Copies of this chain bind each other. A is one copy, B any other.
Amino acid sequence: MRLLVLDYLLKQSAAVSLSDLETYFHRADRITLYRSLKTFEEKGLVHSIDDGSGAVKYALCPDGCSPQEHHDLHVHFFCTRCRETFCLPKSRIPDIALPEGFSAGEVNLVMKGTCNTCRG
């Protein structure tokens, strides 16, 4: 079952939410898919994205992601029309100047707009 989920993730160009999986694998249980994603995330195979749509989405990690540390310092793009979330690994997050005393760890950058297939 998890192999099927992994295979599905490999074929996706956009990040998928739990309900997406649930719709696609209507045979399988919600919780099974949920735990599959959680396991993948623990093992460093996928990373979770909170794009503000209310549902957490998951996408495969490009490379170099270990279970301890995720290197998903790329930009995520949320299309407000098709409500898909894309990873833009080409666009790296530039350095941001922080005030005195602030030290940054993780950075989450989500851009919202229209994607190339939804542009009118």
Q: Are B98 and A77 interface neighbours, CB within 8 A?
A: yes
CB contact between A108 and one of B97, B110, B119 (< 8 Å): that residue: B110
CB distance from A54 to the nearest CB of B (A): 9
**Selected contact of A99 from candidates B88, B96, B108, CB within 8 Å:** B88
Chain copies in the assembled complex: 2
| Chain B residues within 8 Å of A103, by CB | 113-114, 119
Indicate whether A99 sits within 8 Å of B116 (C-beta atoms), given known contacts A52-B108, A80-B105, A105-B80. Answer: yes
Contact with B along A87-99 (1 / 0, CB 8 A): 0101101101111
Contact B112 A106 (CB under 8 A): yes
- A29 interface residue per 8 A CB criterion: no
**Complex interface: chain B residues within 8 A of A28 (CB):** none
Mask of A36-52 contacts with B, CB within 8 angstroms, 1/0: 00000000000000101
B102 touches A108 (CB 8 A): no
Please measure, in the bound complex, the distance between the C-alpha atom of A90 and the C-alpha atom of B102, giving whole angstroms.
13
- Closest-by-CB residue of B relative to A80 is B105
Partner of A111, one of B50, B98, B119: B98
Q: Chain A interface (Cβ within 8 Å of chain B)?
A: 50, 52, 75, 77, 80, 88, 90-91, 93-94, 96-117, 119
